[in-house]
Amino acid sequence: MRGKLCIFNFFVGLLICFSSAANAGDMAPKYLQGNWVIGTTSQKCGAADAEYFVFHKNGTFEAGRSNKPEAVGFWQINDDILYLDFVSSGGFFQDIHAELKASENEFDYFKAKLIYFNVEKNRFEAVGVLGDQTNKGIAIRCK
């Protein structure tokens, strides 16, 4: 009986460990390093219209669309929040807001927070906050 209980406890412990790893509550900096795309499946990796993020080991990152960089800056994780400090130009996003054509060649500094959750091995979800703007996205790891 005691032996069965031990085996049961072992499997429960194992399950908790796997569950914890699957959620990966503490996103280690090493986890984030590499290439990511915003989308629902990894099929978007390398797609011409994909929005991508590259988190470098040295704490810098690059984000863009269609293989064209649109934001470059620094990233860091503090208290389970991913902080992005970056430089970008509104002119890059005139397809979203036409009036941003006036911001071409004008670069500004931005500070965004990404509250991440549902962290899995090759995928996590995040709610981004930039000033009064908020957005939700799913990041998929690319090989």
Partner 1 sequence: MNIKMKKLRIVTRGILAILIAVTMTVTVPSFRTEARASEGAAFLGGMVAGHIVGGAIRRDKVRTAAAVESASQPRAQTVYVQEKPVSGTTAPAPSAKMTPEQKIQQLDKLAAGGYITPEEYKAKKKAILDSL
For partner 1, the closer of residues 5 and 98 by Cβ is 98
**Tokens 């412990």, residue located:** 13
Applying the rule CB under 8 A, the residues between 96 and 135 that interact with partner 1 are 96-97, 99-100, 103, 108, 110, 112, 115-118, 125-135
* DSSP assignments along 36-81, one per residue: EEESSSGGGTT-TT-EEEEE-TTSEEEEEETTEEEEEEEEEEETTE
Q: In angstroms, what is the minimal distance from the CB of 88 to partner 1?
A: 5
Measured from the Cβ of residue 98, the count of other Cβ atoms closer than 10 Å reads 8
Nearest to 87 by CA among 105, 68, 70: 70
Applying the rule CB under 8 A, the residues between 42 and 71 that interact with partner 1 are 49, 51, 53, 63, 65, 70-71
Name the site residues for partner 1 (rule: CB under 8 A). 16, 19-20, 23, 25-26, 38, 49, 51, 53, 63, 65, 70-71, 80, 84, 88, 90, 92-93, 95-97, 99-100, 103, 108, 110, 112, 115-118, 125-137
